[in-house]
Amino acid sequence: MPLDIDAIRRETPGCASDRAHFLHCGASLPPARVVRAVKDHLDLEAAVGGYEAERRAEPGIEATRRSVARLLSAAADEIALVENATIAWNQAFWSVVWTLRPGDRVATCRADYASNAISLLQAKRRRGVEIDVIPDDAHGRIDVEALARRLEDDRVKLVTLTHVATGNGLVNPAEEVGRAARARGIPFLLDACQSAGQLPLDVDAIGCDFLSATGRKHLRGPRGTGFLYARRDTTARYEPATLDLLGATWTDVDAYAVRGDARRYETWERNVAGMLGLGVAVDLALELGLDAIEERSVRLADRLRARLAEIDGVEGRDLGDRRCGIVAFTHAAHEPDRIVRALAARKIEVGTSTVLSTRHQMEDLGLDAVVRAGVHYLNTEEEVDRLAEALRTL
Ligand SMILES: Cc1ncc(COP(=O)(O)O)c(C=O)c1O
């Protein structure tokens, strides 16, 4: 069934204006049903207090957990609902790092997002962990053969991969990386922040032990929401660095017991309204179908890439042989920031991605910044053409 784009846009308050939104990879436009779920819960909190409101929302929160599990083909007890992708990633990352010894190694990729890279450097500085940044292949995706060779070193104790780069259309081969990690019995942490809601995800097909993602981007959920998948067999081996009275129980004066399920990665205080909104957003993505979402987003993004290729001075900067809805480009005559401002004046919202977000990739490209247009299924062909035309007449 093709997506009913008119109906989807009618249900999106942000599509009511004449602004064309190409920032879905930053924060998307939530559908009205998500906004309503959040507001309704805030109203309930105001009426009966946060704790009573939470008690009444408990079935809804558990429904969100089940929906996220369905999104990933996981089980509900493998899902931790947290505030954002960074917390999800760090909870998993540090739980593994705690078990490492100085000289142990973590393999990662050149598409690494800055926050992950900073945590890796922190682990290096504080714990003596070595970082192996695996080179890219000729397409600009992680070189899986080079990775497999590195993993023959017994000191590699964790593989992390950014699935979809933050600043261009690259989709890294997560399944191939998962196979290489599995073959060596090394835990695999996938940053799916830019792929969740944009591409189908199946944790068994990928073979990851952990997967982190955020709500506000391609899933179109509320801000301040995210989740971590933690594989059941793996979880028992690791203890989160941040553990509170939800993730563990204070069983005796000098003893505590950690929960058995993925909720060990959660903390007690939580954004209930956001969690309810996230569930509604995930249900919508499942209802529309991730295959259909990917197919349309990529088709629109490819249309934009083709239009950009016709404009003098514009250079496409996407990496990889498989691409998603994020489109990166530069212009020989205009700095990325200037393009963002000029397009904003024409009610076209795009952003930039800089060396501060993805240092390895940007240094490889020899660039400080690119323009980033985050296309999603709810964009239209007319918006894509308007963006290209605005650039042509800049
Ligand atoms: C690839 C990637 N990973 C992680 C993050 C961090 O996500 P959050 O801001 O939800 O913590 C981002 C944010 O843009 C991202 O693009």
3-class SS at 59?
helix
| Amino acid present at 175 | E
Residue 292 burial (CB count, 10 A): 13
Residue 283 CB neighbour total at 10 angstroms: 18
Contact 246, 54 (CB under 8 A): no
Q: Which of 187, 189, 158 is nearest to 85 (CA)?
A: 189
Q: What percent of the chain has pLDDT over 70?
A: 100
Q: In b/e form, how buried is each residue of 2-27, taking b as 16+ CB within 10 angstroms?
A: eeeeeebbebbebbeeeebbbbbbbb
pLDDT digits (tens, 9 = 90+) for 193-237: 999 999 999 999 999 999 999 999 999 999 999 999 999 999 989
Domain boundary among the residues 240, 262, 287 is at 287
- Say what the pLDDT of residue 34 is: 98
User: Same domain for 41 and 120?
Assistant: yes
Query: pLDDT tens, 264-286?
Result: 999 999 999 999 999 999 999 99
In the predicted structure, residue 317 carries a pLDDT above the cut 90: yes
Which residue has its alpha carbon closest to ligand 1 atom 1?
166
Same domain, 91 and 219: yes
- Residue 176 to residue 301: CA distance in whole angstroms: 25
With 0-12 CB in 10 A as exposed, 13-18 as middle and 19+ as buried, what is 277?
Answer: buried
Query: 243 and 132: one domain?
Result: yes
- Same domain assignment for residues 199 and 301: no
Q: Is the model's pLDDT at 328 over the cut of 90?
A: yes
DSSP of 203-256, one letter per residue? HHHHT-SEEEEESSSTT---TT-EEEEE-HHHHTT---SS--TTTEEEEETTEE
Strand, helix or coil for residue 358: coil
Last residue of a domain, one of 241, 256, 287: 287
Which of 25, 91, 162, 166 has the most ligand 1 atoms within 8 A of CB, as the residue to mutate? 166
Tens of pLDDT, residue by residue over 228-265, are 999 999 998 999 999 999 999 999 999 999 999 999 99
**Residue from 193, 216, 227 whose mutation best tests the ligand 1 pocket (most atoms within 8 A of CB):** 193
pLDDT at residue 310 tops 90: yes
Top mutation candidate among 28, 190, 194, 359 for ligand 1, by most atoms within 8 Å of CB:
194
Number of domains in the chain: 2
Residue 111 contacts residue 361 (beta carbons within 8 Å) = yes
The Å distance, Cα 358 to ligand 1 centre, comes to 11
* pTM (predicted TM-score): 0.98
- The kind and range of the H/E element at 48 are helix 32-48
| Same domain membership, residue 336 and residue 270 | no
Radius of gyration, CA atoms only, the chain: 21
Per-residue pLDDT band for 71 (boundaries 50, 70, 90) equals very high
Which residues' Cβ are closer than 6 Å to ligand 1? 84-86, 113, 115, 162, 166, 191, 193-194, 214, 226
Give me ligand 1 centre to Cα 170, in Å: 15
* 138 lies in the same domain as 265: yes
Distance 25 CA to ligand 1 centre (A): 9
Share of the chain above pLDDT 90, in %: 99
16 and 116 co-located in one domain: no
DSSP string, 320-340: SSSB-SEEEEEETTB-HHHHH
pLDDT band at 68 (very low <50, low <70, confident <90, very high): very high
Question: Counting runs of H as helices and runs of E as strands, what totals does the chain give?
Answer: 14, 15
CA distance 384 to 5: 14
Tell me the CATH number at 111. 3.40.640.10
Domain co-membership, 168 together with 208: yes
Domain termination residue (choose one: 235, 252, 287): 287
State which residues form the domain around 165.
34-287
Using DSSP's 3-state secondary structure scheme, residue 356 falls into coil
Q: Are 257 and 248 in contact (CB under 8 A)?
A: yes
Nearest Cα to Cα of residue 317 among 166, 173, 168, 171 = 168
**281 and 293 part of one domain:** no
Same domain, 302 and 280: no
Q: How many CB atoms lie within 10 A of CB 43?
A: 12
Query: Residue 1 C-alpha to ligand 1 middle, in angstroms?
Result: 31
The pLDDT of residue 142 is above 80: yes
- Per-residue pLDDT for 1 more than 80? no
Predicted pLDDT of residue 302: 98
Mean pLDDT of the chain: 97
Among 137, 289, 276, 272, CA closest to 199: 289
Residue 2 above 90 pLDDT? Answer: no
In 3D space, the residue among 244, 268, 266 whose CA is nearest the CA of residue 256 turns out to be 244
* Ligand 1 centroid – CA 324 distance (Å): 16
User: Would you place residue 97 in the very low, low, confident or very high pLDDT band (cuts 50, 70, 90)?
Assistant: very high
Domain CATH number, residue 352:
3.90.1150.10
The residue whose CA is least distant from atom 4 of ligand 1 is 193
> How many angstroms is it from 171 CA to the middle of ligand 1?
15
Note whether 201 and 192 are within 8 A (CB): yes
How far from 199 is each of 111, 270, 296, CA to CA, in Å?
17, 27, 11
Residues 184 and 320 in one domain: no
| DSSP code at position 30 | P
Averaged pLDDT, 121-127 = 97
Residue 185 and residue 294 in one domain: no
- Hey, what are 305's tokens? 């890439």
Mean pLDDT of 112-135: 98
